[in-house]
Structure 1
């Protein structure tokens, strides 16, 4: 992994360029509200629905920015990444739209629905064991063989600038937000959120939400340095990966706090959203609402933006059916 001093830190100008570059390939997703959830939390909640996004997840923003920002010469060789799911299928979608090859290293335990989507978009899957170390080792072999351009799921300035377009839209759609809450795994969405809001609405507090079973971001935030878990066990499969240097830069600089939720709280929040808002969202999207419900006093009376990051679920293995 490159040291932060060797990496380009994206700027707000990069966000504006990404916004224009990816417009033809993404949806401007809607913002929904729920009077029931407002009553339950004592806050005014606004849900940015990236579960309605192309490829079913916010990650198509960063993937599209990276793919369509490549020179023709680099694009011909193709792109590659490692991902538990949503970045994999998002990069496959973007590469398919540009007509270039894409190879994805995925944990063998990744949801079948996400594997099927990757293949459906034309991606080639190479499986690895469900740990960060196995994922990165197998991926190194793939890139050495193909020479493909590595589009990191989150520790990539092109990806962060793309993800930042979500909060750019959100800020245009809803005025007067006091806080923004988004899930955190590797930190791509949170970094993009920090990048945008620190430039155009610095008064909005940014909170990251993660599973207690994969709370390396919370522990890193308290310790003041990155603490990485290799293979955490949580139902929120998209939030198992650790922070890296570039995303840690944004987290330590701009995030107000990192809040955690138990597995039971995550499942309850996910089910509540399905029941009350009538929308499909995956477990990795549920920690924001779960942590708002858990910390009502923090958000009571506030206008709070919540980013629902994706809706790619295996409908045969819903968590409340398993438990």
Structure 2
């Protein structure tokens, strides 16, 4: 790895990491109080330990209120900061984005889909508010700042995709790739760490070990209109009758993600609705509601060759891949390539 000095710019969107609890044991009632710490207040206990960090507070909201369009605007703000700092004495060497944990999986993945670097964006959140005993708020923030200053050392597997530093997630002492990480628990501090093999590790004292070979998105650098096409998710269950799929088609969806049972299978009536949606020109992706593992090829061959497969992506991420891919004008083959993009290059950690 290559550690760099320089300024980190922190964009704060609110969430648990900035929330005030009602008492030192409050890890799940803080949202009822509504109190919020400003970025300067949150970082004060460690401000002398993290180097040069500037911050700005964007409109605060729970992360489950964030829209894909607001994430596109966030990336636009980062591009503005890069451009305005190009002639300054101290341009940012990296960016940190903090948000609520509920939306971090999708926010980080959407940033990964579109960000083209060269400065890294490291996304983090907290599971417990900073006022709680044993909170992960400050340690996650410090870890994200440290990770944003590190570049992977080029290795033998490095290619064009590995030369750009991707968007990363830093939480609970681990650095994770947005393609593979997701929230696995409503309140445990390892809720994200438990979801994926780490691509790096953060230790107290600003020590970071970051692997080389992490991939970047095939759409990195794509410029999109602010309004993304409608893509809906239909969750399978015993006896699903396809009504949700039919309703999505009627609402004008350009894409539908089916979160199937097991390795990606739907109920009989749901399968009939999927074929009707494909016949209507809607792009349909078969994902799985099961947290781990890949969608099985028989999910396509037993139904329709036009069906896209979500690979190892969660339904939420498969939806964003379709949103961005359709907005960029990708055809079916390119959409499938995007859905299949692994978090790591061959020879690195498996996911």
Q: TM-score, normalised by structure 1?
A: 0.29
More helix by share: 1
Q: Which has the larger radius of gyration?
A: 2
